[in-house]
Chains A and B, each alone.
Chain A
Amino acid sequence: MIYYVGSFLLIALGLYAVIIKKNLIKILIGLDLIASGVNLLIISIGYVKGGTAPIFSRAGLKASMMVDPIPQALTLTAIVIDASEMALAVAFVVLLYKHYGTLDIKKIRSLKW
């Protein structure tokens, strides 16, 4: 249960950062927080307390002891995606700073209406 609460707290924190913070880097951190929260959520869904890897060839391993392997695979995929997204985002921030000379999101609003 605590994992769920933790992960949702992380997501909420990330959302807070994305909405309230003015600094581009902080917004990116917020995004990363959301992503981490989601990853934590995925992991915790498949987690079995005291469980172990589902290796069928190992003797004496009961099904209830097996940790669901799919969420872990999913998490790996999600992490990869997040990482690439973050890389792209940082590149954008660099370019934004070049063009606008500021990291304040309030000042970056040449496109509107």
Chain B
Amino acid sequence: MVNLANPILLVVIPLFFTFLIALSGSFLKSGVKYLPVIAFALNIIVSLALIPEVVKNGMVIATTAGFKPPFAIDMAVDKLGLFLSLIASLLGFVASVYNLFYIDEEPQEKFHALFTLLVAGLTWMIITGDIFNLFVAFEVTSIAAFGLVGFHRDKGAIEAGFKYLVMGSIGGSFLLIGIIMLYAATGTLNIVDIAQKTSNLTFQQKLFPFAMIFTGLGIEGALFPLNAWLPDAHPAAPSSVSSILSGIMTTAAIYAIIRLTNTIFDFNQIYFFLMIFALLTLIFGEVSAFFQKDIKRMLAYSTIGQTGLFFFAFSLNTVNGLQGAFMQMVNHSLSKGMLFLVVGGMIMQVGSRNIDDFAGLGRKMKVSSFFLAIGAFSLMGLPPFFGFWSKLKIIFAALQNANAFLVASVVIILLMSVVEGAYFFKLLQVMYFGKQEKDVAVKEASYGMLFSVVVLGTVLLIISFYPAPVINFMHKAAAEIINKNYITLALKLGGL
């Protein structure tokens, strides 16, 4: 019996399937699209199997190649990593189910291979315990994403893909510089090992790699002003890909920043700057989203805004703040992932991305519209959806030990929430109460696509109405990160 509770499987399974898809594409043809579903179903099983282990020990560490850390590449899954990888697998699973009915453009096998690779890379990024592996995962994700953004090969997609590629590879280079500087300073690549050795570095010695890593990951994590590729790339990509990009990729990148900042770079001076970044991201994201006519572009800008929100919560650098950030991450991953899937189905039916053409969809695509409304409400932070709890937590955390700046930030956040409400309600009222001029034959999306949406929506609804487990879990996870339990646990479990 294979021990399923091995984090390496989370990466290896989808990677294996990636190659399988690429290889078998020529003779399996239409069958190839089922492979990602299997891959991510397996991934979900692995993640679930990891749960008892992680709960028992606090962390599961797997090493490769028979070495002991720090020389071996290791995968370390702690509570938060597990949760995020679970969400990544779930989102990958539902999106690949969605793809069965969504992708009809050739070359299919390449799309599915890249798609599997994308999620594999993201999972890898989340669970890796090795800083260079982080870079590799980052690049794997990026390259898969570049390809997927340009998948439609029309004017917009190519342009968006190219812009993304240029910015992404610059980001990758900066990330690599940062990693190398860390290696130069400490002589190791294992995160825990680095963390132990950075304590005798000067502030500037730490700041330089941090700045580089921050820039690199910030490009992927959609921080203002590094996020200019995002509003182009998300709409251009196929909707299932947008769902992954928006739902997991920004989250994963921000997660990496959080992990590295808290574990390796142990400084307090920097958070103020991060907060300014976060607020700018929030403001520009939400305000820009307000002016959009293209629905996917609007959601993309909204992603930027949400990123700003949870990055702000992280930059508070308190247990409560981190807890709020993680809750918001979960909320954003699920709701935004779901929204993109819903919208993809709608665009298929309507044949346009213009919001005005969505008029009257509320009556024709009832299930889709219903879940779109739920996702939008959760993002706006309206009760009783999960976004409400996370927003509550973030504001509570922000006002802890409040000074004038924090109070002003809270006011900005809430103002931006109003803006968010403004555009989401505009969308909803166009959908439900707008009059369609053109007489398009619109029907409900296919059951397979709805299945994905319903699964995500159900998960969102479940955590909305029973938020306590998630909230408590996130509290523990946040406390572990702040208290550097990651290091002690990793040391105990031989992660070093």
Q: Is the CB of B169 within 8 A of A31?
A: yes
Interface residues of chain A, those whose CB is within 8 Å of chain B, are: 11, 15, 18, 24, 27, 31, 34-35, 37-38, 41-42, 45, 70-71, 74, 77-78, 81-82, 84-85, 88-89, 92-93, 95-96, 99-100, 108-111, 113
In the complex, what's the smallest C-beta–C-beta distance from A112 to chain B, in angstroms?
8
A81 x B173 contact (CB < 8 A): no
Interface residues of B in 234-288 (CB under 8 A from A): 236, 288
On whether A31 and B170 interact (CB within 8 A), knowing A85-B139, A93-B162, the answer reads yes
Across the interface, which residues of A come within 8 angstroms of B177, CB to CB?
Answer: 11, 38, 41
**Beta-carbon contact of B180 and A41 below 8 Å:** yes
B425 at the interface (CB under 8 A from A): no
CB nearest neighbor in B for A77: B136
Q: A41-B177, A81-B172 are in contact. Are A96 and B143 (CB under 8 A)?
A: no
Per the bound structure, the CA–CA distance linking A24 and B232 in Å amounts to 18
A77 to chain B: which residues have CB within 8 Å? 132, 136
Secondary structure at the A interface, as helix, strand, loop or mixed, is helix
* Contact status A85-B156, CB under 8 Å: no
Total number of B residues with any Cβ neighbor in A under 8 Å: 36
Any chain A CB within 8 A of the CB of B40? no
Cα-based distance from A27 to B203 in the complex (angstroms): 35
On chain B, the residues within 8 Å of A92 by CB distance are 146, 150, 158, 161-162, 165
Residues of chain B lying within 8 A (CB to CB) of residue A84: 143
Q: Given A96-B162, A110-B155, list of 20 further CB < 8 A pairs?
A: A11-B173, A11-B177, A15-B170, A31-B166, A34-B173, A35-B169, A37-B173, A42-B176, A70-B189, A74-B183, A81-B136, A85-B172, A88-B147, A89-B166, A92-B158, A92-B165, A100-B155, A108-B162, A110-B159, A111-B232
A70 contacts B183, C-beta separation under 8 Å: yes
With contacts A38-B176, A70-B189, A93-B162 taken as known, whether A85 is within 8 angstroms of B143 at the C-beta atoms is yes
Which of A34, A95, A113 is close to B150, meaning CB atoms less than 8 Å apart? A95
Chain A residues with CB under 8 A of B159: 96, 99-100, 108-111
Say yes or no: A99-B158 contact (C-beta < 8 A), given A38-B177, A45-B184, A70-B183: yes
B288 to A113, Cβ gap below 8 A? yes
Q: How far is the CB of A105 from chain B (nearest CB, A)?
A: 9
A82 CB, min distance to chain B CBs, angstroms: 8
Chain A residues, Cβ within 8 Å of B189: 70
Task: Please tell me if B447 contacts chain A, counting CB pairs below 8 Å.
Answer: no
